[in-house]
């Protein structure tokens, strides 16, 4: 979006209109001791040609990596049209649509986004986004506690993303909500329903069920959902939206489906850009809609019978008393949601299914090639979507460092979060990878994984 600065005459005219002599006069209520003395680390300004050269030099320092990283941030192909449309001024500069009469385009887009997400999750209603997938899980936990009313304990499998679990703990621990860790099977890589027997009959508000889980393994969602309902608990589903194109959606899981579903929307048209922006989504049953954080856009008719869009529910602290708000942290990641809506509209159900199928097929292909190497074996027997865990004979950190020297990001080292797995590596594959990418990765892995590289021993920390 073009930047149009004010001229000196513009500034003088505006200051005169409000009765101020200088811009500093606008901030005279701030004590001098609290004011910045200036930006001492910022170099003097340069011209366009000079700064363009600097930026090109900086960009050249970034290598083009062949990436097999995943763990919640996924490299998918994004059609060029997605961000060409999303960065149009009408979308790029739009803010929260408080004034419906001036925001019909934004409201319609959000309504269509909500419609697509309810279709993916097979639930009744979804909101107009949250900050990210991790905070969406925290919001779902708070929501489940409000719905359940009698319990402030939630069962959380260790197969949930460790960062998500950390965020949940941070946001709920001061509200006297207890997160109870549920172990997983180290052979199959998922929660075994029979392992839940010791929690049966207990007073718990909800059971969290990731699908696929952090290891990329598919959980027995039907059995887990049925068990939760038998024990008077809500089911909170943590899902990858791309996987829902080929996997049964949470609203159709066993014994009536999940009650709440959430996840990270980044795979839907948002690029990997140094950690952001992302956006969280959350969906639920209609009967829980008033406990859902954020805002909901509705479609209606005006007095002349014309279609119109408006904010139907907006139970945030900006709109109602803070003590009555369902959330004090939620935000609408409008631009990322705009890109996701355009992405879903462009690829459609068939295209999204092709993305999911290609990612799954590629993951299986690479897993077979890697495990044919000496010193590499699959960590779990469970079926996977597009991520899998392998165990190496060499320290994972050393192998990843050696791969990085060859321009390859080989995956995520799990030894810090899951020391019980030993030298475990989480590998992700999407539709963006080709046979030559597999060959390059496997050839380099053959050089490093089967031999112990020399380095100081890596310290292991307890599992989160």
**What's phi and psi for 211, nearest 5 deg?**
-150, 110
Same structural domain, 99 and 196: yes
Strand partners of residue 377? 391
Same structural domain, 312 and 425: no
pLDDT tens digits, 156-179: 999 999 999 999 999 999 899 999
Same structural domain, 312 and 378: no
Structure token pair of residue 256: 């009536």
pLDDT number for residue 358: 97
285 vs 458 pLDDT, higher one = 285
Same structural domain, 244 and 353: no
* 126 close to 283: Cβ distance less than 8 angstroms: yes
* 210 close to 219: Cβ distance less than 8 angstroms: yes
Could you tell me if residue 456 is inside a domain?
no
The pLDDT of residue 457 is above 50: no
Same structural domain, 175 and 237: yes
What CA–CA distance (Å, rounded) separates 182 from 185?
10
pLDDT tens digits, 364-406: 999 999 999 999 999 999 999 999 999 999 999 999 999 999 9
Could you tell me if residue 239 is inside a domain?
yes
Please give the residue range of the domain that contains residue 164: 80-344
Same structural domain, 312 and 368: no
pLDDT tens digits, 4-52: 678 899 999 999 999 999 998 998 899 988 888 788 888 888 899 999 9
The pLDDT of residue 65 is above 70: yes
The pLDDT of residue 458 is above 50: no
The CATH number of the domain holding residue 90 is 3.40.640.10
pLDDT class for 328, splitting at 50, 70, 90?
A: low
What CA–CA distance (Å, rounded) separates 114 from 108?
10
pLDDT tens digits, 73-102: 999 999 999 999 999 988 887 666 777 777
Mean pLDDT, range 436-446, rounded to an integer: 96
pLDDT number for residue 316: 57
Token pair 């590998």: residue: 427
Could you tell me if residue 354 is inside a domain?
yes
Mean pLDDT, range 189-218, rounded to an integer: 95
Same structural domain, 366 and 408: yes
pTM of the model: 0.85
Q: Which residues touch 142 (CB under 8 Å, ≥6 apart)? A: 171, 172, 175, 177, 293, 326, 327
pLDDT number for residue 145: 95
Q: Worst-scoring range by mean pLDDT, 144-158, 266-280, 329-343? A: 329-343
pLDDT number for residue 2: 54
pLDDT class for 317, splitting at 50, 70, 90?
A: low
Long-range contacts of 402-405 (CB under 8 A, 24+ apart): 402/444, 402/447, 402/448, 402/453, 403/441, 403/444, 403/445, 403/448
What CA–CA distance (Å, rounded) separates 337 from 437?
31
Mean pLDDT, range 54-70, rounded to an integer: 89
The CATH number of the domain holding residue 386 is 3.90.1150.10
Could you tell me if residue 46 is inside a domain?
no
What CA–CA distance (Å, rounded) separates 121 from 247?
10
Which one of 313, 344, 375 terminates a domain? 344
Could you tell me if residue 283 is inside a domain?
yes
Q: Which residues touch 81 (CB under 8 Å, ≥6 apart)? A: 342, 346
Could you tell me if residue 263 is inside a domain?
yes
H helix or E strand, kind and range, residue 6? none
Average pLDDT, the chain: 90
**What's phi and psi for 327, nearest 5 deg?**
-160, 140
Mean pLDDT, range 274-278, rounded to an integer: 82
426 vs 63 pLDDT, higher one = 426
What total number of domains does the chain contain? 2
* 415 close to 421: Cβ distance less than 8 angstroms: yes
Same structural domain, 232 and 365: no
Mean pLDDT, range 199-204, rounded to an integer: 93
Residue 127 Cα to chain centre, angstroms = 15
* 411 close to 404: Cβ distance less than 8 angstroms: no
Same structural domain, 364 and 304: no
Could you tell me if residue 312 is inside a domain?
yes
Mean pLDDT, range 224-239, rounded to an integer: 96
Same structural domain, 317 and 379: no
pLDDT number for residue 295: 82
pLDDT class for 464, splitting at 50, 70, 90?
A: very low
Q: Worst-scoring range by mean pLDDT, 4-8, 105-109, 219-223, 297-301? A: 4-8
What CA–CA distance (Å, rounded) separates 15 from 278?
39
Could you tell me if residue 410 is inside a domain?
yes
The pLDDT of residue 453 is above 60: no
Same structural domain, 367 and 331: no
pLDDT class for 224, splitting at 50, 70, 90?
A: very high
Which one of 279, 310, 344 terminates a domain? 344
CA angle 141, 145, 148 (to 5 degrees): 130
80 vs 324 pLDDT, higher one = 80
Same structural domain, 303 and 228: yes
């Amino acid at each position: 979006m073009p930047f149009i600065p004010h001229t000196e005459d513009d500034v003088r005219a505006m200051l005169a209109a409000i009765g101020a002599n200088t811009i500093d006069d606008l901030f005279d209520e701030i004590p001098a001791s609290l004011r910045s003395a200036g930006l001492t680390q910022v170099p003097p300004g340069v011209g366009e040609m000079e700064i363009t050269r600097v930026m090109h030099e900086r960009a050249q320092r970034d290598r083009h990596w062949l990436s097999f990283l995943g763990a919640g941030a996924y490299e998918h192909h994004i059609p060029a049209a997605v961000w060409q449309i999303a960065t149009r001024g009408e979308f790029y500069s739009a803010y929260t649509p408080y004034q419906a009469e001036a925001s019909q385009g934004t409201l319609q887009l959000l309504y269509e986004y909500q419609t697509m997400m309810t279709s993916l999750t097979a639930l009744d209603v979804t909101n107009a986004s949250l900050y990210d997938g991790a905070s969406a899980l925290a919001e779902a936990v708070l929501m489940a506690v409000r719905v359940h009313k009698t319990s402030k304990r939630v069962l959380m499998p260790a197969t949930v993303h460790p960062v998500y679990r950390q965020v949940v703990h941070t946001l709920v621990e001061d509200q006297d909500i207890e997160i109870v860790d549920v172990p997983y099977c180290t052979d199959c890589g998922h929660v075994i329903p029979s392992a839940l027997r010791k929690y049966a009959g207990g007073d718990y508000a909800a059971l969290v069920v990731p699908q696929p889980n952090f290891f990329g393994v598919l959980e027995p969602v039907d059995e887990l959902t049925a068990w939760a309902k038998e024990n008077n608990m809500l089911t909170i589903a943590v899902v990858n939206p791309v996987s829902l194109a080929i996997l049964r959606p949470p609203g159709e899981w066993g014994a009536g489906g999940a009650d709440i579903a959430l996840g990270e929307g980044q795979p839907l048209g948002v690029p990997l850009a140094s950690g952001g922006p992302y956006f969280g989504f959350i969906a639920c049953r209609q009967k829980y809609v008033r406990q859902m954080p954020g805002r909901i856009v509705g479609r209606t008719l005006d007095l002349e019978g014309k279609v119109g869009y408006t904010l139907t529910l907006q139970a945030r602290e900006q709109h109602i008393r803070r003590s009555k708000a369902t959330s004090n942290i939620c935000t609408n990641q409008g631009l990322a949601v705009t890109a996701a809506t355009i992405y879903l509209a462009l690829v459609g159900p068939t295209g999204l299914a092709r993305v999911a199928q290609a990612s799954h097929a590629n993951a299986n292909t690479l897993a077979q090639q890697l495990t044919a190497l000496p010193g590499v074996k699959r960590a779990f027997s469970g079926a996977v979507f597009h991520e899998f865990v392998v165990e190496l004979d060499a320290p994972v950190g050393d192998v990843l460092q050696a791969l990085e020297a060859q321009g390859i990001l080989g995956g995520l080292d799990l030894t810090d979060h899951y020391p019980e797995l030993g030298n475990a590596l989480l590998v992700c594959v999407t539709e963006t990878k080709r046979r030559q990418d597999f060959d390059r990765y496997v050839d380099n892995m053959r050089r490093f994984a089967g031999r112990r590289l020399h380095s100081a021993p890596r310290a292991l920390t307890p599992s989160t």
